[in-house]
């Protein structure tokens, strides 16, 4: 360690730490804008481009950005002199001078870090008038890039390239013209962008945001000719409460159901039901592939990869086109739910599929893109009509003026409202494969699984390799690889491709933490503790349920008896499985 003084206070700081972290360790806040450090996932954005965090060092005339300047023995640092306050105010005024003044209508309003700083510094008028840029807006089904609002903090670039390894976003052009954009300034839709939405999650301003479908929902609900139903994803229920002041991880399932019913949805269903359905198909496929592998069938490949994360699916389609025979062919729960609703439920109810609107509430932006994929539609009518994020649901609830935290708890509607704890854990990393293992174990061994908790599959390390000794394959334990974050996924897949790592099954989720860390969740502003609390919240729901194995869900059994026959039957194949495209 080294001894330094910050604002006259003696501090002992680790040798390689920055002034910013040293100050933070004793509760001194230095304002930052471009800087973001999410240590637990290895994300650090240190372009030192905004100059908000400058400090005085040893009375020196030069000012130093505290986010990248390392502490040195004997340093005397001032973080809050009047001169520094003036410098920071000027930095803000310069940033605001060419920033669109659209705060009233900006999607990030209330969450924008530039707006927050402008308020903290009481900026009432801007002394400088800058030239306004007029880039076209890039409008994909999932993400909108409004680059006039870009402040060149480069956080999105760090996320996309260092953590997700998608390499879509780069600084292009020079000087005033410089922006962060895909190569050749293409639209996101024309690139290998996975729509993971993690760039949106770290953008401090409104330059990157979701495509908002809240008014589409309002209009569908107002249309008397339509039946409108909704499904709610596992991870939404432990995060939505944050928008209403509740602790991250608080389970608000019952309140969500009440709110959706009060909004006028005809039926409020649960994506979790379809997660149980996914396990029926995926565990069957796993069992068949294990059997084929043991019988040395040359057409059968292991490992099997989970396929419910649409950003991951797009990632493998773009980056590993030679490995497309490995993912499970099972559709995601969102898509299984919607196709069952339109092809089975609607028929039972005597509703034409064109008069049925299926809305999904997802923690994810890639789900909007998944809903728009052509193979998930029939004669131009999509299975999932509208996908909104957790944030968009919060907006709808606020618009309606509901007192969310005081709403009573209600139950989902039958028959697609009951789910096992195995479905809940889909929302966190490791959960899909744990859910599949609970079922596959019983189906492969014929024994009852008494302890459903596979602790070794849980955790937040980027890549985890775990064994399930209860399940033996050719005399060795069933071996599972788990990765979250696309960079970790790439690392794991490369090891498998090269033969360095051998596993029987793999779960990949594109976002850190899994869906609980999705790009459509309430903004975490770099605080990964929030995601840890959501993780615990999800686990608590699973722990609290009687029903913890997907194949024991009575409504799932009923769906197979009445409509689908067996898992992977002809009918199940037609409705619940899909193909991937290079
Ligand atoms: Fe997920 Fe899903 S678990 S991807 O993370 O599989 O978005 O929450 O809805 O579809 O169920 C997201 C969450 C889902 C799906 C489910 C899966
Ligand atoms: Fe990169 Fe994901 Fe953003 Fe696409 S959505 S630009 S892949 S971070």
Q: Which two tokens stand for residue 248?
A: 């991250």
- Whether the bond between 230 and the residue before it is cis, its omega within 30 degrees of 0, is no
Name the residue with the closest Cα to ligand 1, atom 9: 233
The answer to whether residue 511 is catalytic is no
- Whole-angstrom CA distances from 191 to 173, 181, 183 are 19, 11, 9
* pLDDT computed for residue 355 by the predictor: 98
Per the annotation, the verdict on 515 as an active-site residue is yes
370 is catalytic: yes
Judge whether 285 counts as a catalytic residue.
yes
Neighbouring-strand partners of residue 467: 479
Does ligand 1 lie within 6 Å of residue 432's CB atom?
A: yes
CATH numeric code, 2-97: 3.10.20.740
The whole-number pLDDT of residue 132 equals: 83
* Cross-strand pairs, 45: 36
Question: What pLDDT does residue 173 have?
Answer: 85
Please work out whether the CB of residue 553 comes within 6 Å of at least one atom of ligand 2: no
CATH class of the domain at 279-332+419-576: alpha beta
* 520 pocket-lining for ligand 1 (C-beta < 6 Å): no
208 CA closest ligand 2 atom index: 3
Three-class SS state of 267:
strand
Atom of ligand 1 nearest to the CA of 271: 11
Q: Give dist(CA 290, CA 268) in Å, integer.
A: 37
Q: In what order do the strands lie in the sheet containing 227-232?
A: 267-270, 227-232, 356-362, 386-389
CA torsion sign for 502, 485, 581, 376 is: positive
Domain boundaries, the chain: 2-97, 279-332+419-576
pLDDT value, residue 133: 83
Are 208 and 153 in contact by the 8 Å Cβ rule? The answer is no
pLDDT of res. 174: 81
Per-residue model confidence (pLDDT) at position 126: 86
Q: Is 541 in the pocket of ligand 2 (CB under 6 A)?
A: no
SS3 label, residue 451: coil
Catalytic option among 328, 338, 360, 372: 328
6: tokens are 């910050």
Active-site annotation holder among 285, 392, 501, 507: 285
Residue among 273, 359, 362 whose CB has most ligand 1 atoms within 8 A, to mutate = 362
**Cα(165) to centroid(ligand 2), Å:** 9
Coarse DSSP helix, strand, coil percentages of the chain, rounded to the nearest 5 percent = 45, 15, 40
Residue 469, helix vs strand vs coil:
strand
- pLDDT score for 74: 97
> Which residues of the chain are under the pLDDT cut of 70?
none
Dihedral pair phi/psi, residue 187, rounded to 5°: -75, 150
pTM: 0.97
Integer-rounded Cα radius of gyration of the chain: 25
């Amino acid at each position: 360690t080294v001894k330094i003084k910050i604002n006259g206070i003696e501090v002992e700081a680790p040798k390689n730490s920055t002034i910013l972290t040293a100050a933070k360790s004793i509760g001194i806040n230095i304002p930052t804008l471009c800087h973001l450090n999410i240590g637990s996932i290895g994300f650090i954005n240190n372009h030192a481009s905004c100059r908000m965090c400058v400090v005085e060092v040893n009375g020196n005339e030069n000012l130093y950005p505290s986010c990248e300047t390392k502490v040195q023995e004997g340093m005397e640092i001032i973080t809050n002199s009047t001169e520094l306050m003036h410098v920071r105010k000027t930095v803000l005024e310069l940033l605001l001078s060419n920033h669109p003044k659209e705060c009233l209508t900006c999607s990030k309003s209330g969450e924008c870090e530039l707006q927050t700083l402008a308020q903290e510094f009481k900026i009432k008028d801007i002394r400088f008038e800058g030239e306004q840029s007029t880039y076209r807006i890039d409008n994909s089904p999932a993400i909108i890039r409004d680059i006039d609002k870009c402040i060149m903090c480069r956080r999105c670039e760090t996320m996309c390239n260092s953590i997700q390894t998608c390499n879509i976003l780069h600084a292009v052009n020079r000087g005033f013209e410089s922006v962060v954009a895909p190569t050749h300034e293409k639209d996101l839709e024309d690139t290998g962008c996975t729509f993971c939405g993690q760039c949106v999650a770290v953008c401090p301003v409104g330059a990157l945001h979701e495509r908002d479908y809240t008014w589409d929902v309002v209009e569908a609900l107002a249309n008397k000719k339509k039946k409108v139903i909704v499904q709610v994803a596992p991870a939404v229920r432990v995060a939505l409460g944050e928008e209403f002041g509740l602790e991250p991880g608080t389970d608000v399932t019952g309140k969500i159901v009440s709110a959706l019913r009060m909004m006028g949805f005809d039926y409020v269903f649960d994506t979790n039901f379809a997660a149980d359905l996914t396990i029926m198909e995926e565990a069957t496929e796993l069992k068949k592939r294990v059997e084929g592998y043991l019988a040395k069938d040359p057409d059968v490949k292991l490992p099997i990869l989970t396929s419910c994360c649409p950003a991951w699916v797009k990632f493998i389609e773009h980056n590993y086109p030679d490995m497309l025979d490995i993912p499970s062919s099972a559709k995601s729960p969102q898509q299984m739910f919607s196709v069952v609703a339109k092809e089975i439920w609607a028929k039972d109810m005597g509703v034409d599929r064109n008069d049925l609107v299926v809305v999904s509430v997802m923690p994810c932006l890639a789900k909007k893109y998944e809903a728009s994929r052509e193979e998930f539609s029939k004669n131009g009518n999509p299975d999932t009509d509208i996908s909104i994020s957790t944030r968009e649901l919060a907006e709808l609830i606020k618009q309606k003026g509901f007192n969310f935290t005081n709403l009573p708890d209600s139950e989902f509607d039958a028959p697609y409202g009951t789910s096992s704890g195995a479905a809940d854990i889909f929302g966190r990393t490791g959960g899909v494969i744990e859910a599949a293992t609970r079922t596959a174990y019983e189906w492969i061994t014929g024994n009852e699984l008494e302890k459903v908790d596979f602790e070794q599959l849980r955790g937040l390390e980027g890549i985890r390799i775990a064994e399930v000794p209860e399940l033996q394959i050719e005399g060795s334990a069933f071996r599972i690889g788990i990765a979250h974050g696309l960079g970790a996924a790439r690392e794991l897949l490369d090891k498998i491709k090269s033969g360095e790592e051998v596993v029987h099954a793999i779960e990949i989720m594109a976002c850190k933490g899994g869906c609980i860390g999705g790009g459509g969740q309430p903004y975490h502003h770099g605080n990964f503790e929030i995601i840890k609390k959501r993780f615990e919240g999800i686990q608590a729901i699973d722990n609290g349920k009687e029903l913890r194995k997907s194949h024991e869900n009575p409504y799932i059994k009923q769906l197979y008896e009445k409509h689908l026959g067996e898992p992977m039957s002809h009918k199940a194949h037609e409705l619940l499985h899909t193909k991937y495209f290079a």
